[in-house]
């Protein structure tokens, strides 16, 4: 039985995976290029560098990000514990001193005698005999590694940017305004349609073109020629989006025979269960707060719960459902696992969680035990299902209550509903933890 694991990439996922393996006596060799070659976003020589925000989001158990942290704490997450040591004031959010955070994670791993760090611009990840690999090369995977990805995944191997429309929960859509139908009644009512009057549309359009956008990084320029942000399209003229993503033709509400709409936003299912819908054609550079404000002006979305905001940024990730199982393990080669944003999980703690899951599944593989079933009653299990379930075009996902297995009964009060999700998840996790060594 091998006890040697190679980890490619020293970010959040790679470091969490390394810790989970090291503390169980498994030898880890980490290949990281930062000290000899940095990506456009990295500056530090130490591991686990936070290149964007220094916030790891809310610790409130009533939020999906808080629940994810609670689940990970039950599994002794290194990243979470170090983050709490380096915490800086940020209200309910867990924000850190990013330099100190990176230094401490690096020091903690270096304390293990069974940890080997290799400065290397890796060009392949396939393990030798008796070894296992965890590939956690991140959203800015170096070009030197791309040929290895292509050999492994063929032509359908990588997405080079993340252009995703916002996602809302189904039960937050106002169906007094919205209606289910396909254009020209072709199909089985595949879309939820959100109509607007002329006054609705003009107010929406004006706020859209005036809204604040995020700053684009130099290395992200010229990435999105084939996928125009909705606000850029809107600035080309008041009717441009009305003849594009918001075209109203061929859409009829059976409750209002003969009524014509000035503009219609279509929502499309984001998951098999139909608990989440995305705003079709609404890829955007708007700041998150602006997305909530402006898109909620559409009558059917006035009370919408946004579980993911639209993003358009440089992001290298694999078509995970085609190639990975729920253990983050390569279907074609059980000695290879993937973790982090390269799998299509989105967010600091989600990336960390994927590394934690992959490592625990490696441990079970080495012991000859079956994979751990985290179940979709937990955020960990729901993320595992997301990366391994084929449904439409695969896109990155962060933690949210919409990906959890629905409750056994309908609960309208959002705060009560979230508490019930959290209580159920932690009860399930407490049983799972009993069987993890």
According to DSSP, residue 405 is labeled P
**Residues facing 168 on adjacent strands:** 277, 306
Give the pLDDT score at 316.
78
**CA–CA–CA angle 313, 316, 317 (5° rounding):** 120
Question: How confident is the model at residue 219, as a pLDDT?
Answer: 46
Specify the pLDDT at position 434.
Answer: 94
Q: What is the predicted pLDDT for the residue at 154?
A: 81
Specify the 3-state DSSP secondary structure of 329.
strand
Contact 204, 297 (CB under 8 A): yes
Instruction: Note the pLDDT of residue 391.
Output: 85
β-pair partners for 264 = 195
* Domain parsing of the chain, residue ranges: 4-158+318-434, 167-311
What's the confidence (pLDDT) of residue 325?
97
Pick the CATH number of 167-311 from 3.30.70, 2.40.30, 3.40.50, 2.40.170: 2.40.30
Asked if 106 and 86 touch (Cβ cutoff 8 Å), the reply is: no
Q: Cα–Cα distance between 238 and 257 in angstroms, integer?
A: 28
Distance CA 382, CA 345 (A): 11
- Looking at residue 147, the DSSP 8-state letter turns out to be H
Question: What's residue 348's pLDDT?
Answer: 92
Compute the Cα dihedral for 140, 145, 146, 148 and give only its sign: negative
**Would the CATH topology of 4-158+318-434 be identical to that of 167-311?**
no
Q: Are 264 and 251 in contact (CB under 8 A)?
A: yes
Identify the pLDDT of residue 136.
96
Size (the chain), residues? 437
Q: Per CATH, is 4-158+318-434 categorized as 3.30.2320.50? A: no
Sequential pLDDT tens for the chain (437 residues):
458 899 999 999 999 999 999 999 999 999 999 999 987 777 889 999 987 778 898 999 999 999 999 999 999 999 999 999 998 877 778 988 888 999 999 999 999 999 999 999 999 998 888 899 999 998 888 888 888 988 888 866 666 555 678 999 999 999 999 999 988 877 667 789 999 999 999 999 999 999 999 876 554 454 444 467 899 899 999 999 999 999 999 999 989 888 899 999 999 888 878 899 999 889 898 999 999 999 999 999 999 999 988 877 667 788 999 999 999 999 999 999 999 999 989 889 999 999 999 999 999 999 999 999 999 999 999 999 999 998 887 888 889 999 999 999 989 898 999 999 999 999 999 999 998 97
Instruction: Give the C-alpha separation, 267 to 166, whole Å.
Output: 10
CB 83 within 8 A of CB 68: no
């Amino acid at each position: 039985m091998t006890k040697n694991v190679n980890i490619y990439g020293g970010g959040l996922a790679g470091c969490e995976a390394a810790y989970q393996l090291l503390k169980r006596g498994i030898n880890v060799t980490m290949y990281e290029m930062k000290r000899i070659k940095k990506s456009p976003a990295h500056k530090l020589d130490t591991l686990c560098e936070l290149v964007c925000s220094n916030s790891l989001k809310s610790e409130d158990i009533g939020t999906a990000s808080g629940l994810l942290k609670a689940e990970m704490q039950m599994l002794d997450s290194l990243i979470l514990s170090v983050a709490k040591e380096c915490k800086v004031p940020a209200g309910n959010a867990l924000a850190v001193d990013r330099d100190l955070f990176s230094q401490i994670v690096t020091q903690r791993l270096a304390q293990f005698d069974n940890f080997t760090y290799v400065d290397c611009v890796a060009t392949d990840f396939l393990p030798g005999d008796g070894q296992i690999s965890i590939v956690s090369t991140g959203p800015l995977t170096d070009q030197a590694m791309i040929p290895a990805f292509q050999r492994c995944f063929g032509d359908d191997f990588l997405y080079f940017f993340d252009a995703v429309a916002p996602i809302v929960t189904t039960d937050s859509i106002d169906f007094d305004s919205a209606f289910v139908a396909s254009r020209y009644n072709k199909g089985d009512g595949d879309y939820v349609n959100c109509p607007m009057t002329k006054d609705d549309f003009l107010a929406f359009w004006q706020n859209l073109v005036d809204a604040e956008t995020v700053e684009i990084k130099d290395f992200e320029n010229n990435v999105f020629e084939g996928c125009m942000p909705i606000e850029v399209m809107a600035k080309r003229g008041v009717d441009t989006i009305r003849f594009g993503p918001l075209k109203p033709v061929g859409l009829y509400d059976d409750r209002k025979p003969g009524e014509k709409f000035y503009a219609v936003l279509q929502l499309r299912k984001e998951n098999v269960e139909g608990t989440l819908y995305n705003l079709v054609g609404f890829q955007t550079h708007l700041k998150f707060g602006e997305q909530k404000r402006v898109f909620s002006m559409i009558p059917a979305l006035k009370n919408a719960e946004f579980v993911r905001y639209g993003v358009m940024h440089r992001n290298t990730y694999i078509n995970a459902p085609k190639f990975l199982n729920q253990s983050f393990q390569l279907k074609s080669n059980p000695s290879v696992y993937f973790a982090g944003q390269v799998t299509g999980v989105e967010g600091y703690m989600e990336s960390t969680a994927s590394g934690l899951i992959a490592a625990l599944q490696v441990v079970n593989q080495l012991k000859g035990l079956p994979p751990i079933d985290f179940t979709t009653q937990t955020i960990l299990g729901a993320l595992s299902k997301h990366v391994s379930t084929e449904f439409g075009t695969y896109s990155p996902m962060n933690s949210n209550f919409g990906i959890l297995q629905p409750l056994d009964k309908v609960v309208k009060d959002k705060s009560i509903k979230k508490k019930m999700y959290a209580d159920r998840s932690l009860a399930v996790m407490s049983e799972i933890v009993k069987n993890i060594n």
